């Protein structure tokens, strides 16, 4: 055999750029100041990073459940892409959380060693929206539209937070979230205005997701303190913008807008009071990491 099967590949070895995107992250924020900004409480900032990081992590985990199960191959690629973007954001934010809260915890300590009641994500991201009996592609897209519209508005404003790490994550994240929102909106349009069946499913999906909207804008004492020192964004401030987007998409998709409905009572993701669905997600996610103490990965 006259050609080495590896010859054609050797020139590629320096080209690791694509792995820097989403999988390796140490250089991603190189040059960004990592001190805690003056006047900001490190413990509060750490919790805020967990809130933003957990939203991204749990939704990434949910989206990855579609992998090899999407309605078409292009969608397998797209959902994995969105999951990778969110996972990348989560890693940076959780790393920041451990850096500023004084505990020195790593991204993996946060992801794998906390019980469900220490997760700070919104209930919206933990819901089982399929594939499988928990939902379908329409619910998945309804949730993605809501989440990405909300997070895009949040990150857009967070670009000017006093915390340089969150600001850098936000600056990178707005481009990603704009794509996620556009992707979800396209599907809501197609499904809402597609066939009778897809319209029925899309309306049911919106009806199922809408009760979780109020939580997005709920005040929180930690966030309130950080808003005072320009380290956080008040989620109530983005409400009008987000709802304007959502309503425009729903109307164009020939869907009716469910009446506002407050999810009653006890549950509050930001305070660690979750649905049982989070414990299920984490059970799967954490099982292997916890089962082999001392292992290195």
Partner 1 sequence: MSEQEARFLATVQAEQRIEPRDWMPDGYRATLIRQIAQHAHSEIIGMQPEGEWIAKAPSLRRKAILLAKVQDEAGHGLYLYAATETLGVDRAELTEKLISGRQKYSSIFNYPTLSYADVGVIGWLVDGAAICNQVPLCRTSYGPYARAMVRVCKEESFHQRQGYELLMTMMRGTQAQRDMVQDAVNRWWWPSLMMFGPPDSASSNTEQSMVWRIKRHTNDELRQKYVDMSVPQAKALGVTFPDPELRWNDERGQHDFGQPDWDDFWRVVKGGGPCNEQRIAHRKAAHEDGAWVREAAQAYAEKRNRQAGAA
From residue 85, how far is each of 54, 56, 191, 214 by CA, in Å?
A: 13, 9, 24, 25
CA gap 13, 36 in Å, rounded: 38
For residue 27, the 8-state DSSP code is: T
Closer residue to partner 1 in complex, CB, 33/287: 287
Residue-wise burial string across 108-137, b where 16 or more C-beta atoms lie within 10 A, e elsewhere: eebbeebebeebbbbbbbbbbbbbeeebbb
CB of 248 to partner 1, least distance (A): 17
Closer residue to partner 1 in complex, CB, 201/220: 201
CB of 5 to partner 1, least distance (A): 5
Closer residue to partner 1 in complex, CB, 71/115: 71
CB of 20 to partner 1, least distance (A): 11
CB of 98 to partner 1, least distance (A): 13
Cα atoms in the Cβ-side hemisphere of radius 13 Å centred on 50:
28
CB of 57 to partner 1, least distance (A): 8
Closer residue to partner 1 in complex, CB, 24/115: 24
Radius of gyration (Cα) for the chain, nearest Å? Answer: 20
CB of 75 to partner 1, least distance (A): 8
Number of residues assigned to the chain: 297
Closer residue to partner 1 in complex, CB, 45/70: 70
CA gap 186, 184 in Å, rounded: 5
Within a 10 A sphere around the Cβ of 197, how many other Cβ atoms? 10
Closer residue to partner 1 in complex, CB, 107/126: 107
CA gap 214, 263 in Å, rounded: 7
Write out the residues near partner 1 by the rule CB under 8 A: 1, 3, 5-9, 12, 18-19, 22-24, 57, 61, 64-65, 67-77, 80-81, 83-84, 87-88, 90-91, 94, 107-108, 111-112, 131, 136-137, 189-191, 193-195, 197-198, 201, 284-285, 287-289, 292, 294-297
């Amino acid at each position: 055999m006259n050609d080495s099967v590896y010859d054609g590949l050797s020139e590629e070895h320096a080209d690791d750029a694509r792995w820097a995107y989403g999988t390796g992250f140490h250089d991603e924020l190189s040059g960004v100041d990592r001190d805690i900004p003056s006047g900001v409480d490190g413990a509060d900032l750490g919790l805020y990073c967990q809130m933003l990081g957990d939203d991204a992590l749990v939704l990434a985990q949910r989206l990855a459940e579609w992998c090899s199960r999407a309605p078409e191959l292009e969608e397998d690629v797209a959902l994995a892409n969105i999951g990778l973007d969110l996972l990348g954001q989560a890693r940076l934010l959780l790393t920041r959380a451990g850096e500023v809260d004084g505990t020195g915890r790593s991204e993996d300590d946060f992801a794998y060693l906390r019980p469900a009641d220490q997760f700070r994500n919104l209930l919206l991201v933990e819901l089982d929206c399929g594939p499988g009996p928990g939902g379908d592609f329409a619910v998945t897209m309804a949730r993605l539209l809501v989440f990405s519209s909300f997070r895009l508005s949040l990150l857009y404003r967070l670009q000017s937070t006093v915390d340089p790490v969150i600001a850098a994550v936000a600056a990178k994240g707005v481009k990603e979230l704009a794509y996620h929102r556009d992707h979800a909106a396209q599907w809501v349009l197609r499904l809402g205005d597609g066939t009778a069946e897809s319209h029925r499913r899309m309306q049911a999906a919106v009806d199922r997701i809408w009760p979780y909207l109020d939580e997005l804008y709920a005040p929180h004492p930690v966030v309130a303190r950080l808003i005072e020192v320009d380290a956080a964004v008040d989620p109530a401030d983005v409400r009008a913008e987000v709802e304007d987007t959502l309503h425009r998409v729903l109307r164009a998709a020939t869907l009716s807008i469910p009446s506002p409905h407050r999810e009653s009572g006890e549950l509050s993701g930001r305070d660690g009071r979750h649905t049982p669905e989070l414990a299920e997600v984490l059970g799967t996610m954490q099982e292997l990491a916890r089962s082999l103490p001392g292992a290195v990965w």
